[in-house]
Every structure is written in structure tokens, then in C-alpha cells.
Amino acid sequence: MGRKTKTIYLREPDVSPDPISLVVWNVGGPSAGKGTASKRKRVITGLLESKQPSLVLVQEFSWIKIKRHNTWKDAHITDRYEYIGHKEAGILYDTDELEVKNLTTETEIRPTIEKMLRKGELSPGFTPLGRMLISEIKTKGVPTTHFLCVSWHGSHNSRKKADLLEEFKNLLVFMEAIEDHYDLPLLIGGDFNLQYKDIPEKFKNSGSGLIAYMYDPLKRRSSRLIDFYIGSSTLPLSKIAPVDLEKVDKGEDAQKIFDHDPVEATLMTHAKSLSGSSLCYIKPLFKDHMIVYET
């Protein structure tokens, strides 16, 4: 008997039975005098303990050796988390849930940039590797979700908006080439140093291969929405919202030492059919979601 395909339209997607919980967070900020670094690390561990995210895409993370006791003696990060990347951009990930490979140092990445520069596909002077961490991620267990993930820190916002926009366009052209090379869907999260309202409109709707996700920021960031997610249409996100650090464990007065609010989201990986007999492939649309499953 051949397979039948059913299509069901849902107004709001259900969260997957095995979602990946995400956080994007630039952890930089002003100094509040002696003890600021220790306080900042305690808030970071407080968020990890409170939210228990699967994956944290961080920028300006100065304490990359998270297993070093002297560095984190006052704010221990639970052993199941590992860090890959550098101070500009990297990821913290839960080793109980995810397998992660650093692709930024792979031999094909730099030659790809150089080739695209020679062909005029990227603007001269585009040098992204020092501002990003490219990783290949697989979930543990069955079924497996497999995708590319990028933690990105855009150039400083003292640059002209036109330059930041050009950098943004170059980033997406480059990453779409990497996405095609690995034949995997893509998720980018970070501090773009470019306002969401200023990015090209085509990335704000379902007609694009990549979708930039909007959310309602906290009041203090309402005029500076520069931390957000961009993803392939086959990696739908839900429940995107800022985290109020003042309400996180150990987060008292955190807004005084953090310029950015963490932004959490849920990556919907797999879903079950209404009968519960098989897994679904989820193809997202920006407002409605189509779930296709086989019986």
C-alpha cells in the first residue's frame, strides 16, 4: 500500500515534544566598580540554572575556559555545559542533549570566503571569522535533528548604518553558501549591531529562504532591537521573548552591568501526527504553519 500524505493547517504551532531551548545573549556591559566581573558571572550561572537552555549563543564572553576553577570559583557552571568559540562569539551547550562540532576552523571555510571574494560575491574587506562561531549541531537520541548554528557579533554600531547593512547582507550570502555546502538548515543568532527595522524586508516574511524573527523587547531595549534570530524556514522558532534579568536567580541589579537582555526561543524539531503514529515534517509559514505527515 502506498503512503498517503495529509496536510493540516494550524494557526499556532504546538511546541515539539523534543524542543531545543535557545538563548541569544551579548553578556557585555558597563563596569559597576570592583566585583563587576564576578557579579556578571553569577548572573550568567543564574540564567543557566533558571532557564536550563540547551544552547546559548553568546557574544563578548570573556571567560571562555568555563572549567577553570580560578575563573569561575564564585559562579560554578554545571558540568554538563561546554563552551566552544572565542571571546567575540561562541556557544554554551548542554552535552546531555547535543553533539557540537566547531566548523569555523574547518579547512573549507576560509577558502570559501576567499573564493567568494574573488568572484565578487562578497564585498572587499568582509572578514567575518573573527566575529562568529559556526557549528554543526546534532541532537542526541532518536529522531536526530541536525543543523548549522552561528553565533554572530556584528561590527560595532559606531559604523555607518549603510556599512552595517552591507555587512549583514554579506553575512547572509556567505552563510547561505555554507548552508548549501553542508546541505543542512541554518540558524543564526546574535548581536547584529543593526536594528531589526533596518534589515531588508524580504527577510521578515515567509517568502525568503531565511526568516528574521521579531519579538517584543523589554522597555529598556525598545529602541535598540539588535539581538535576534535568523533561521532557515525548516527550523521554525516559537516563544521568542526577552528575559528580564532582574527576575532571574542572582539577577538583582543585573541591568546595571548588562547592556543587552537575553532573548530566549524554542526550536521546534519534530512533532507527532494527530494520531501519534508517526513523526511529522514541519514546514513553517510566518503566520500559519503547515504540518505534513505520512501514514
Q: In this structure, how many other beta carbons lie within 10 angstroms of the beta carbon of residue 11?
A: 7
pLDDT tens across 72-105, in order? 877 888 899 999 999 999 999 999 999 999 999 8
The pLDDT value recorded for residue 206 is: 55
Distance of CA 243 to the CA centre of its chain: 15
> To the nearest whole percent, how much of the chain has pLDDT over 70?
84
Measured distance CA(31)–CA(233) in Å, rounded: 39
Contact 148, 185 (CB under 8 A): yes
pLDDT tens across 32-81, in order? 888 898 999 999 999 999 999 999 999 999 988 888 877 787 788 889 99
Which residues on neighbouring strands pair with residue 133, listed in sequence order?
151
Mean pLDDT of the chain, nearest integer = 84
Q: Confidence class of residue 207 from pLDDT cuts 50, 70 and 90?
A: low
pTM score of the predicted model: 0.84
DSSP for the chain, written as a single string: ----EEEEEESSPPPPSS-EEEEEEE------STTHHHHHHHHHHHHHHHH--SEEEEES-----TT-HHHHTTSPPPTTEEEEE-SSEEEEEETTTEEEEE-TTSTTHHHHHHHHHHTTSS-TT---GGGEEEEEEEESSSS--EEEEEEEEPPPTTS-HHHHHHHHHHHHHHHHHHHHHHT--EEEEEE-SS-GGGS-GGGGSTTSSEEEPP----GGGTT---EEEEEETTS-EEEEEE--GGGSTT-TTGGGT-SS--EEEEE---EE-TTSSSEEEEEE-SSSEEEEEE-
The pLDDT value recorded for residue 8 is: 42
Q: In this structure, how many other beta carbons lie within 10 angstroms of the beta carbon of residue 14?
A: 13
Q: Which amino acid is at 107?
A: T
Q: Are strands 55-59 and 20-26 parallel, antiparallel or unpaired?
A: parallel
pLDDT tens across 222-264, in order? 999 999 999 998 899 999 999 999 999 888 889 999 999 999 9
Contact 253, 273 (CB under 8 A): no
Has residue 164 got a pLDDT over 60? yes
The pLDDT value recorded for residue 14 is: 47
Cell numbers standing for residue 185: 538548515
Q: In this structure, how many other beta carbons lie within 10 angstroms of the beta carbon of residue 160?
A: 9
Cell numbers standing for residue 114: 576567499
Q: Confidence class of residue 157 from pLDDT cuts 50, 70 and 90?
A: low
- Report, as an integer, the average pLDDT of 163-167: 95
The pLDDT value recorded for residue 168 is: 95
Has residue 4 got a pLDDT over 60? no
pLDDT tens across 176-200, in order? 999 999 999 999 999 999 999 999 8
* Residue 120, Cβ density class (10 Å: 0-12 exposed, 13-18 middle, ≥19 buried): exposed
Q: In this structure, how many other beta carbons lie within 10 angstroms of the beta carbon of residue 47?
A: 24
Q: Which residue has the cell 564572553?
A: 61
